[in-house]
Structures are given as structure tokens and as C-alpha cells.
Chain A
Amino acid sequence: MANITFPFPYPEHLGIMLPEILLAVLAMALLLWDLFVPKEKKGMIAWAAVASCVVTLIALLQLPAGDSLHTFYGYFVLDPFAAYAKVLMIAATVLAIFLSLDFMKDEQNVGEYYCLMLFALLGMMFMVSATNFVVMYLGLELMALCVYVLVAYQRDVLRSSEAGLKYFILGALSSGMLLYGLSFIYGVTTDFMFAGIGEALRHVEDGSRLAVLLGMLFIIAGLAFKVSVAPFHMWTPDTYEGAPTPVTAFMSVAPKVAGFVVFIRVLADAFPALQTEYTTVLSVLAVLTIGIGNVAAIAQRNIKRMLAYSTIGHVGFMLLGLIAATQEGYSGAMVYLTIYLFMNMGAFAIIVLMRRDGIQGELLDDFAGLARVRPGYALAMGLLLFSLAGIPFLAGFWAKFAVFAAAIHSGHIWLAVYAIVFSVVGCFYYLRVVKYMYFDKERVAFNFIENPVMQATVVVTSLAVVIFGLYPKPVMAMCSAAVSMF
């Protein structure tokens, strides 16, 4: 039971929404405060945003963990799963703000930028707590609208605007698909609650079967878009490349967490009756995603694009956890997301640090000779890339281990073999960067951003990758506790 009572008695347990309420209020307050902050002091907004995240985190952590608590007629739930996802997303947001510190300081209206990040976080927090398609959709749109704007934030940079616009148009299409699918499901079950739909679908008549399949498929497509599953992935490389790098870092991690949590909830709560069907669909999608992600990454010259395809590949691996449809699988996906958060944030942090004179250090060639100039960065980048490639004993290995083991235990052996083969293919493009860093001659003069907070981010993430790699138990334990209710 939440121990916070509000002066008004209704609805019950509103206290479990305290983190969201605080975050919403703080974000709006920041937006107003921003109007009064002179341009040269806009950096304060960033720190205020970090403080808001910390406040939200504290509010979240003091809530009772372990039970499932509901409010708003059960539309909003706080369970270990949601709580864990929220912690991850808050961490991702804070790290993304750190990466933005120096990067964004020359942009206009930088205050709004941080507020948008907070609102995106708010939307994601609603998404992961949703037990109902309507709440889920509201959270998703709040998140998505903020991210569209963030992507297009460098409005005088052509490719930034282009990226934002593409993402927006395709995002609208995917929302349309999601809602279209939802209408079918509502038509058959007359319910929006995940659990209610799940119950209703157990006794569905044969005549409505096609409608249900159609609905589920569209819903899956809508969600797959958000987590960049092929063939709904095509926005990803363009958007990642065009977006300001900290935004890329942010959207490569936080929305993926939210998306996967929702994906898991929808599949496990709303469609358990269609497990055979959705496993088939997801298997096809996973095969496509893993293959396209890992192969296409090889042809990229731009590291942000390469990491975009790498994200697609990783998402494919995470799908294995969902396909397993067991507690172990969900836990594996969460382990993957947790570790992925640190690996990707670290890699992007180094890319951000390499920004030079308006041109980001983005081409693979730009990494040539890094080991000679900044051995520390090269070592950190090397560790992160090896981890992304899944080399033991770095964290990335355990991430893959968790989902592959789940897939094998649930009988999807061939899928696991396929995934393992492609994770070997994946090594190529990660290790190529290591080769550039260590074996090639410097081609252009380096010009790093020297910001202690960003450097600390690099240190923390690469250390995390090593420590989780050597001692993965706590992460694994937390994740399996988080999914204990499935």
C-alpha cells in the first residue's frame, strides 16, 4: 500500500503516481522558469532537469516495491516491472542530459530542449505503467511528439529537420496502424484493459478469429515501429543520423525500454490466447530484424548510422526473449535492455565528445588513430564495442546469454542458432572501429569537447560494462524480480 495520502480521497492510491505527478509539475515549472533565464545561463536548466529526474527517482524509490498497486480504476499500475523500467528510463534520461551539456549549448532555446526530454520521460513512464490501451497510447504519443521535436531540434541543419519530419510522418502511420488494430480488438472484446482482453480472447468465436488476428497484427506492427523491428525499422538510420547525437543516444535507449515493456505487457496480458500466432509472427520479424540489422551495419561509413543498424540488430536479439514468452525470456529482455543502456550511452558519449567545429566526429574514419591521441577514450570505446559485440566477459555477453538461453529453453533452438551466427557477423563492424582506433594512422586533427561530466559518463558506462561483465548476478537478479509476476 502506498503510504502517501492526498487531501482528496479519490481516486484511491493516487500516491503511486507521485513520481509522474512530480515530474509533470517540475517539467512545466522548468518551462516557465526558462523564460526568465538569460541566454548565457541556460546551462542551469540542464542541471534543474537533472534535479527533476533525481527527485522523480527518489519519489519512485520510496514507493512500496514488490506489490502490484493500481489506481484510476486499475488503468495505472505500479508493479516491480514498471518500477524497474522507470529507473532505467530515468537513468537514460539523465545520461542523455549529461551528453547534451556541451553539445547543445550553442543551440537556440536550449531550455525547451531539456523540458521536452522530461516530457518524453513522463510519457514513457505512463506507457510502462499502463494496463490499458488508452493510457498506453496517451503515454506513447506524449513520448513520440516530444521525440519528434527533439530530433528536429537543430532546425537550421537540414538533415536534422529532415530526420524529424520523416520520423513524424512514419510515426503517424504507425500510430494509425496501432489504433486500427486496437479498433478490431475493441470491436471483438469491447474492452481496453489488457487483462480483460486477454480473458475475452480465450473464448472468442471462430467467426471473429480473423478480426482478432488482424487486430493483433496491426498492434504488433505499431509497437514494432517504436522499437525498430524490421520491416518497420526504416526510419531508424535516417533519424539516428540526422538527430543531434545526444538525442540519438536518448532515443536509442529510453523509448526502447518503454516500447519493450509495453510489448511484453500487451503480449503476455492481452494476447496469451494467441501465443502460437504471435510467436510465429515475432519469429519472422526477429529473423528479418537480426539479419537486416547486422548485415546492413557492415556497409555503413557513418558511425551513427552504423549504431542505428546495430540497435536494430540488438532489438532483434531482445525479441528472442519475447518469443520465448517465459519469465526467463522477459527477464532476459530486461537484462539486455539494462546492459544495452550502458553500452550504447557510453558509445554515443564518446561520439559526442568527438564533435569538432560544428561537424560531428561521425565517420568511421574519424576514429583512426584515436588510440594514439587519447588512449583512454580508445580503451573505453574498445570496451564498449567489444561488449556490444558480445565478447565475454563484458556485460554484452551476458545480455546475449540471457536471451539466447531463454530462447533455447523454450524450444526455439534454430532461432538461437541463427541469432548466434549473426552476432558473429556483428563482430565485424564493431571490431572494425577498434581496428581504426588502434591500427590506423590519424587522418585529421582531433578536437575534443573537454567536459568533465561527459568524460565521467564515459568512465561510468565503460566501467559498468566491465563490472556487470565480471559480476552479472545483481542485474540478473533485479531483472528476474522485475518480471516475477508473469
Chain B
Amino acid sequence: MQDMTLSSTELLLIPALPLIAALIAGLFGWKLKESLTHWICCVGVAVSALLSIDVFMQVLDGARFYGNFWSWVISDHFVVPVGMMIDPLTAIMMLTVTIVSACVHVYTIGYMHGDPGYTRFFSYISGFTFSMLVLVMGNNFFTLFFGWEAVGLVSYLLIGFWYRRESANVAAMKAFIVNRVGDFGFAIGILAVWYYFGTVDYHEVFAAVKPFVEQGISLHFLGWQMDAITFICLALFVGAMGKSGQVPLHVWLPDSMEGPTPISALIHAATMVTAGVFMVARLSPMFEFSETALAAVILVGAITAWMCATIGLVQNDIKRVIAYSTCSQLGYMFVACGVSAYSAGIFHLMTHAYFKALLFLAAGSVIHAVLADQDIRRMGQLRKYMPITYVTMLIAALALSGVPPFAGFWSKDLIIEAAMVRDMGWVSELAYWAVLSGVFMTAFYTFRMFFLTFHNSDRVPAATKPKLHESPKVITIPLIILAVGAFGSGLWGVYGLDIANAEVVQGFFGSSIFVLDAHNPLLKLELEEHHSFLLSAPFWFAVGGIALAYAMYFRESAMPAKLAAMAPPLYRFLLNKWYWDEMYDRFLVRPARCVGTMLWQGVDLATIDKGVIHRGLIDQVANGAARLRRMQSGMVFHYAFAMVIGVFGLLTWLILKA
């Protein structure tokens, strides 16, 4: 079964089509008709999605691919190959990425209609699809890094898409700079891999991990002694924290909502931000050998899951609520990876991609309807005007809250149970309670937002009211497609792919995920009785959250205001997002600016531009140049003199030296 190989042409086409579409749209978009541009991009990505489905089917039948196409850089022993590795993990990612991307492409036709940057936008999102595919399909750390940086770049460009808006530019820079921190760690991790293993190829590195760990190589870092493998994994994980919006590098993700909504759905919910989770799962053969790194993954994930959920409780911007929810859900995925239930993490990644993309696109549809207002305090009763958006958003909200049989329930339940059975002392204990209480909050803030938008009292400003309407088909059809995913992907995962079953998980993911038997929480779950969802704690927490939201927000009531008044400091603390931004501003941004000003005024201006000694370097050079020009008198005898003097000067010097 294992010897079946996929066609490399087909595999190359999958990223190539979006790339070609992006290049056409980017280079010639200004000349082409808008409709032609969006057709090229949509068809490119749609074909890529169909091919991905085909690849997924073949992978289910046991087909694999591993190979290098060419070498990008060869410098002595340092070789950077360009190659692909296709296994179930890759296939499921390709499937998710291309399907969500295709839906977003179609949605964009309606959402961005009439925007002056229409073709630029298509060029970016197709380019993004290409980069993300490279990220997941690569067979070595450098293609991973290439894709990683490329998606980061596109994300930057798209957050700042409306570049005339100052807030968008600021958010774009923030995203980029915060990601620099993460990517610095990531780069260090990759270089450490190369340093210790002498290769960046996945297969070769993974094969070498076990003997490497047994050698017990350790290194000193900042006065700490740690295992080399732990160092590598932690460094790589710093990259994942940046990209996947984990505490303390989560601050950029909510701000990234400045970008157009399709981007929030595609990049900042469904695909790019999950790259960190994918990376940890992909590198499971390394993470498995470092308990410390796994514990760090759990801790960061659990703290993020809980903290961002608390912030989500009080936000009033519809997209920000969903954005904090994204951070929080990513935390769940990391908890899953940390407790060695990688398959549960990837499962949640997939279901989350569908329902969160749906949630964003539906929110976009709402925002579109109320003329680009994002404040849920100025919405309400919208279900009358936009029934399709209403129903699809309800499906997404139920899925996110974890109500069976919607997708989110299955994957989230699996994560929570895995966290319960995996015994790692206080770390797993804390993680379990964090994710469990997180479920309650998730259900609450989701339905708070939902009720305030579609039910409650009608608070839409009078000016917008006559224009309220359901969105056009290009917007609603992708919503419906994604709703199918948000409803069914959980059932499909559990009953179709049998992801929850530990044995079969190893069957489905095969060797693409590596778990030490001693770690495997899913094996432990196997031993326990399968119980009905009525007995599972997460289910009741979710129901409780929804019920509370119903009580407070379904109809207009004074309860929320009273509650906020009860503990004003707590309310402000949450509303201000735990004061993370203020803290960074105080302790990092301002000191950095101080140093920058000092170097500019004290060093740059003082020495180069208008120095203390003879008016700075610039004038010195200009003077030197002018002097040389004066030497060039135009007189032949001067020139001849210079030649003769030159020879004799050299001769004198040589003789004296000899």
C-alpha cells in the first residue's frame, strides 16, 4: 500500500495554479477587466482545490509522495532542496486550505466589489494560497520557512490593504513586527536543526532524532543548561507562538481585523494562524522527545485559551469577538498538541477552519449590510433582513460553542478529554481546567454576539435601516458551502476518518504523526468506556454558556449593565484586553523609541550629517570629492606629472621597504 506514489505533476500544479493566477492578477491586473481577473484567480484556486480533493482521496488509499524537485541553494555542505512530502497530515491541510480559500475567493467577488484595489486583492489572496500550500507541502525546514515568511508577508500586505487608513497601517506594522519576534525564534530553531543534524530534510532529521536524544547532547544558553532537542523545540515553538497568536505574542491578531473581512476569514482564522499548530504536529517526532517543550506548549496554549476567552466576553466589535475567539481556539489546538494528541489538534484545526471562516464571512455579510459598522451595540434584529446569513451564522456559532452534532463539539471534546487523561502533573491539570472553563466562556461570548446581532432590540441607526438587505449570491453561496463543513466536518472526522480512535488514528495519519506510546492520551481514552455526550462535562458547560447568554441578551435587559457595574475594575481590565498593549507600549515600544531617537540624534546626525568635527562625514566626503576634482585640472602635464611621481613614489617605497 505504501509504495503508491502521487503524480508529481499534479502536486506541482496545486501550488503553481494559484501562483500563476496571483502573478497574472498582480502584474497585468491593472490592464485586465476586473471580471477576467477574478475569474482567473477563482478558477486557479478552485482547480487547485479539486486537485487537492483528488490527492486526499489517493492518500486515503495509501498513496504517498516524498521527493526533491531541484536545489534552491547549494553552498558547500549547505543545501536547500525544494521538495514535497505528501502524507495524510499534509493532505488534510491541503484540503482545508484550498477549500476555504476557494470559498473566500468567490465571496470576495461580492465583498470587495467596487474597491479600487480589487485586482490587487485577488493577487494577494491567490499568492497567499500559494504560500500556504508551499508551507504545508514542503519536505524540509527551509520550504517550511519560505512558506512561513511568505504567508507573513501577504498577511502584512492584506492587513494594510486599505493603506490610506492609518489604523490599518499601524495594525499591519504591528503584525509584522510581532511576527519578527516569533520568526526570530523560528529561524534560530531551524539553524539549530541544521547545526546539530547537518540537514534540513524532514525524513533525515526525524530519523536522527532518537539517536540524537540518546546521546544526551545539551547546550548552555543564557546560563541555563538544557537539552539540545528542548532548545530546538522551544525555539521553533516561539515561531509558532508568533504566527498563531499565542500569549504573549497574541497582540497582533485582534488588530489584524483592520484588514478586509475575507482576509480575517482566510488568513487570520482558517489557515495562516494555524500554521503553528501544523508545524508542531509536523515536527511531532521532535517535540515528543522533549517533555519540557511539550509542557511549554500546553502552558502557553492553556493560558491563551483561557485569557483570550475572558477578553472575548466583553468586546463590542463583532470581528474582535471572533478574533479573540480565534486566539482562544488556537490555544485549544496547542493544548492538544502538548498533551500529544496531535491528531485531535489537527482535527480541531480542520473543523475550526470551516466554522471560523464561516463565522467571519457571515460577520462580513452583516458588516456589509449595515454599511461597514462593526459595533454590535448598533445592530439587533437583523435576522429579519438576512435569513441566510442568520442561519449559517447560527450553525457556526453552535459549532464554535461545541454543541453536538456540530463540528466543533467533536474536536473540542476530544481535546478536553485528552487533556484530562494525560498525566503531566499540575501542567495538564491546569490545562484541563482552563480549557473546560473556556468552553463555558466560548459559548457565552459567541451567543452574546449572536443574540446582540440578530435578536435583542433593533438598534440599527435610522440612516442605515432602509438599506438593510440580504447579501448577494456570491456571498451567500460560500456561506452555505462552509456551513456544510461547519456542520458535517466533525461527524465526518469521527465517523468517516475515525480520528477519535487511537488505533485508527495511527492508521489515518500513519507515520505522519509520531507519538510515544507512553504519551498517547488517545490510547488511554480507548481503555475507558465510551460514554454518551450527555455525560461529558464540556457539553454541559457549553449549554450553560448559551443559556446564560440567552438570559442576558436574547431580549433587551438591564442585566449586562448591572453585572458590569458590579465589578468595574474587572470589567475595565477585560475590556482593555488585560492591558497587554499598554504594557508593551510602556516597557518595549517607548524604550525602543528612546534608543532610536538617541542613535538618530546622537550618532547619526552628529557624526554623519552635521558632525561636531568639521561638519560631519557627508561634508568630508563631498570635500574630498571636490578636492579630487580640482586635481583633475585638465592639463596634460599635470597628468603626466602624477604618473611619474606615482612611479617614483612606489619605487622609493619598495626600496625602503626591502
Min Cβ gap B273→A in Å is: 31
Majority secondary structure of chain A interface residues (helix, strand, loop or mixed): helix
Contact A214 B651 (CB under 8 A): yes
**Is A231 in contact with B640, judged by CB distance below 8 angstroms?**
no
Q: Among the interface residues A169, A214, A237, A296, which one has the most CB atoms of the partner chain B within 10 A?
A: A296
Q: A234 with B632: in contact, given A213-B655, A298-B625 (CB under 8 Å)?
A: yes
Take A214-B651, A280-B654, A281-B654 as given contacts and tell me if A169 and B621 are in contact as well, using a CB distance cutoff of 8 Å. no
Known interface pairs A210-B655, A234-B642, A281-B654. Does A177 touch B647 (Cβ–Cβ under 8 Å)? yes
A231 close to B645 (CB less than 8 A): yes
Closest to B631 in A: A234
Residue of B nearest to A224 (CB): B646
Flag whether B461 is at the interface (Cβ < 8 A): no
Per the 8 Å Cβ criterion, residues 243-299 of A in contact with B are 277, 280-281, 284-285, 292, 295-299
Complex: A292 Cα to B628 Cα, angstroms: 7
Which residues of A are found within 8 Å of B558, using beta-carbon distances? Answer: none
Instruction: Tell me whether A173 and B628 are in contact in the complex, defined as CB-CB below 8 angstroms, given that A217-B650, A277-B654, A284-B650 are known contacts.
Output: no
Q: Are A299 and B639 in contact (CB under 8 A)?
A: no
**B570: min CB distance to chain A, Å:** 54
Q: Which residues 143-182 of A have a CB within 8 angstroms of B?
A: 165-166, 169-170, 173-174, 177
For A, the interface residue count at a CB cutoff of 8 angstroms equals: 35
Q: Which residues of B contact A298 (CB under 8 A)?
A: 621-622, 625
Known: A217-B651, A277-B654, A284-B653. A231 touches B643 (CB 8 A): yes
Checking B638, B643, B654 against A217 with a beta-carbon cut-off of 8 angstroms, the contacting residue is B654
Chain B: interface secondary structure?
Answer: helix
Is B636 positioned at the interface, with any CB of A under 8 Å from its CB?
Answer: yes
A232 at the interface (CB under 8 A from B): yes
Whether A296 pairs with B629 at a CB distance below 8 angstroms is yes
Say which residue of B628, B639, B646 sits within 8 Å of A235 (CB atoms): B639
How many interface residues does chain B have, given as a range?
20 to 34
B628 touches A231 (CB 8 A): no
The B-contacting residues of A in range 281-330, CB under 8 angstroms, are: 281, 284-285, 292, 295-300
B650 to A: closest C-beta gap in Å: 6
List the B side residues contacting A225 at CB < 8 Å.
643
Note all chain A residues with C-beta closer than 8 A to B622: 298-299
**When the two chains form their complex, are residues B628 and A425 in contact, meaning their CB atoms are under 8 A apart?**
no
Does B626 belong to the interface (CB within 8 Å)?
yes
Given that A213-B651, A214-B651, A298-B622 are known contacts, is A238 also in contact with B642, CB under 8 Å in the complex? no
Indicate which residue in B625, B643, B650 contacts A281 across the interface (CB closer than 8 Å).
B650
How distant is the Cα of A300 from the Cα of B647 in the complex, in angstroms? 27
Shortest distance between the CB of B621 and any CB in chain A (Å): 6
**For the complex, is B117 an interface residue (Cβ under 8 Å from A)?**
no
At the interface, yes or no: B624 with Cβ under 8 Å from chain A?
Answer: yes
Give the shortest distance, in Å, between A336 (CB) and chain B (any CB): 20
Question: Taking CB as reference atom, which chain B residue is nearest A172?
Answer: B640
Q: Determine whether A349 belongs to the interface, using a CB cutoff of 8 Å to chain B.
A: no
Measured CB to CB, the nearest residue on chain A to B645 is A231
Does B634 touch A at the CB level, under 8 Å?
Answer: yes
Q: Say yes or no: is A135 at the interface (Cβ < 8 Å to chain B).
A: no
A36 → chain B, closest Cβ, in Å? 39
Q: Are A232 and B643 in touch, CB under 8 angstroms?
A: yes
Cβ-based interface call for B77 (8 A): no
Decide yes or no whether A221 CB sits under 8 A from chain B. Answer: yes
CB of A342 within 8 Å of the partner chain: no
Chain B residues with CB under 8 Å of A230's CB are 646
A70-100 contact mask (Cβ, 8 Å, vs B): 1 or 0: 0000000000000000000000000000000
Q: Please name all residues of chain A whose beta carbon is closer than 8 Å to the beta carbon of B655 when the two chains form the complex.
A: 210, 213
A296 to chain B: which residues have CB within 8 Å?
Answer: 625, 628-629, 632
Taking A231-B642, A231-B643 as known contacts, 6 extra A-B pairs with beta carbons closer than 8 A to each other, sorted by chain A number, are A173-B640, A213-B655, A217-B654, A221-B650, A232-B643, A280-B654
Please report A residues at the B interface, Cβ cutoff 8 Å: 165-166, 169-170, 173-174, 177, 209-210, 213-214, 217-218, 221, 225, 230-232, 234-235, 237-238, 277, 280-281, 284-285, 292, 295-300, 425
Between-chain CB contacts (< 8 Å), 7 pairs: A235-B639, A238-B632, A280-B654, A280-B657, A281-B654, A299-B622, A299-B629
